[in-house]
Structure 1
Amino acid sequence: MKLKKTIREQYGLQVYDLFKAGRYEAFRTQNSVCCIVPVSSFEDEELYELYYMSQFLQEKGDPHVAAFLLTKDNGLYFEEKSVRYSICRSNLSQKRAASSPGRELARFHQKARAFPYSITKVNRIGQWKHLWEKRLDQLEGFWRGKVQAHPLDPFEKLFIESFPYYLGLAENAIQYLVDTELDDHPQPIDAATISHNRFSAGLWQGEHPMKMPTDWIFDHCSRDIAEHLRHEFHHRQAEMREEGFRFLEEYDRTTPLSSFSWRLLYSRLLFPLHYFECIEEYYLSNEAGKKEAETRLKKMLKDSNKYEEFLSAYSSMLSIRTRKINLPAISWL
């Protein structure tokens, strides 16, 4: 197989058998598992920042962090059939002891907050407002075009009808974020840390649990907590109330969050990222992907009242359980 030959030439590694490790093709070396990760969507500067992050966390002793391997020429990737690939290696360690995802995420963020280098390309700290407004403006412009076109496609009709509601939700989230930054003050816990583009506990599970640097960005810890809760709501709604709040408590017990963190987290949950991604994916997908996006959108719209209930429950849970954080109320929830 040409891929095995290329890896031998580029890295000096002998690949005997390929197997699936989570989302990636992988192979074993003497004491490690190596994943072959497509990286064509990353700029070189982004990969170098992620490389330094992975080196730092592996040196900090996190047994499940996969670090980039350099080629013989000190490159971060190789090319095969016009696709770029990196190899990320994680030490073979015993299966993790049953640990709570909230505690494990808090410890990960704690270690990563000490990352000493300047990050620019994968940095998102303090940029939510700008990024959300840009995304909202783009989708609103696209929506206006669709309204004028009077489409017959069922998905597009759903998009036209539902967008004003999600526009309102997004505007509320942006205002909530602005108020948080005006009214509250960041604490040491609010310093940037290594976070994930979209975190869910499933990223760290499986037969070969690995923390992959290609999942990372540099941001506020509340991003990961919010995206985990959002994922749980959409995929495990029945368990969400109990397990979601337990996750929050475990995190907060390990690394107590500031009121600024709690409010940032709430603003991110208010922002309907799940809706934006569903619409965007529909227009970027093939037929099978379009069908899947349509099914997701229908379920999302059906569950919109439940999502409001979840947002309301999060707010009241905080004031009851912490006795110290009073989130400003959202009047329509």
Structure 2
Amino acid sequence: MKEILLVNYNVHTTEQVIINGREGFRDHDYFYFIISARNKEMIHLEQAALAYYLSEIGYNHTAVPIPTMGKSWFVEKDHHPYLVLRVPAVQEKIVKSPGTLLAEFHNQTATYSYEPQEISSYGQWKELWIKKLTAYEQKIKQDADSMHNKYYRLLVDVFPYIIGISENAIQYLQESESDKRFHQGDQGVFAFRRYKDHLAQPVIWTDELVYDHPTRDLAEYIRYKLMENDFNEEEILTFITDYQENRALSIFSWRLLYARLVYPIHLYDFVEASFKGEDYERYYIELKRLIKKQAQYEKRLARLFEYLNFDYRKYELPVIKWLNP
């Protein structure tokens, strides 16, 4: 693959590296990563604009797409399109806490003057969640007619539960949209598709960037923590406390956070991945495990505001009653 860099970018690499599981190359000044661009719409130029902005405001470990010598963003090799990402410096040592790191990232990116269109989910959660629910329900019904295996039989049995909890989240989100207790901190920011600890990683990857409400990242980080086997409530309390010391949450944000955690995004992600493969025995085992974990997740979610030391009754925030701690 290094010949792609030499022929199309006049880059002479000196060593091969692997960072975050991605294979790359290094010359004296930069790191380069060659990623598949077969699904070009997933690597949108709006993501490139966000990446360049991050690089400009000090996030030097952002992987930015670079054009070829012929001014093309994509390069072909063996009839396959690729995109080259360049990283000036890999992040090595993190001294700030996860909550502080994320709050500062949101504060800095809130100043971005252009709202993306193609990679933005800001203000669109309800429509996107309804669309996802409908599309998955239709596909599962369609595939189940031809997929006669135990994974699909289990998926068909489980999906009514996914529908039910999804509808609860959508209804809660719809009711939250009429809550006017928001402030400047509710404006759109740069976010990640599924935030875990991306800002503590050596590289910020262009193809993981989106534009959304900041609670997207908060919810996905907390979702991951709630699903851990060795769950520690102090971790999410510290995370939210540190975040709010730098960027306070409005009551509206608290409602969005709760709604997003109710919506079973992690289950949809698993089902989506299974649509793209054929290892149904593994999918069956994993789905059984996820459903078993879901009961534990619900119990922890029921105590979310308690864990986060937030008096939801004082602010008249509703909770979903059937989530029993």
Shift of 1:246: 2.1
1:90-169 aligned at under 5 Å gives the runs: 90-92=87-89, 95-145=92-142, 149=145, 153-169=149-165
Is 1:83 aligned to 2:80, yes or no? yes
Shift of 1:144: 4.4
1:159-308 aligned at under 5 Å gives the runs: 159-201=155-197, 203-205=198-200, 209-234=202-227, 236-287=228-279, 290-308=280-298
1:40-55 aligned at under 5 Å gives the runs: 40-43=38-41, 47-55=44-52
Alpha-carbon spacing, 1:138–1:17, altered in 2? closer, same or farther (3 Å): same
Alpha-carbon spacing, 1:43–1:31, altered in 2? closer, same or farther (3 Å): same
Name the structure with the higher helix share. 1
Distance 2:166 2:158 in 1: 13
| Matched-pair contact (CA < 8 Å) for 2:191–2:210 | yes
Distance 2:149 2:45 in 1: 44
Give the structure 1 partner of residue 66 of structure 2.
69
Q: Match of 2:237, as an amino acid?
A: F
Give the structure 1 partner of residue 306 of structure 2.
316
Distance 2:314 2:33 in 1: 45
Report which stretch shifted further, 53-62 or 183-192. 183-192
Distance 2:222 2:119 in 1: 23
Please list the CA deviations of residues 228-282 of structure 1 after superposition, one character each: whole Å capped at 9, or x if unmatched: 2222333x33134232332222222221111111111111111011112222322
1:30 to 7, 28, 34: 28
Consecutive unaligned residues in structure 2, runs of 5 or more: none
Distance 1:145 1:261 in 2: 37
Q: Match of 1:51, as an amino acid?
A: A
| Matched-pair contact (CA < 8 Å) for 2:120–2:211 | yes
Distance 1:307 1:153 in 2: 27
TM (normalized to structure 1)? 0.88
Shift of 1:86: 1.9
TM (normalized to structure 2)? 0.90
Distance 1:48 1:133 in 2: 27
| Matched-pair contact (CA < 8 Å) for 1:319–1:325 | no
Distance 1:98 1:325 in 2: 34
Distance 1:43 1:143 in 2: 25
Alpha-carbon spacing, 1:6–1:139, altered in 2? closer, same or farther (3 Å): closer
Q: Match of 1:125, as an amino acid?
A: Y
Distance 1:161 1:200 in 2: 30
Please list the CA deviations of residues 184-224 of structure 1 after superposition, one character each: whole Å capped at 9, or x if unmatched: 343211111111111111x3455xx0111110111111111
Distance 1:294 1:242 in 2: 33
Shift of 1:85: 2.1
Distance 1:231 1:320 in 2: 20
Percentage identity across aligned positions?
Answer: 28
Equivalent pairs counted in the alignment come to: 323
Alpha-carbon spacing, 1:156–1:22, altered in 2? closer, same or farther (3 Å): same
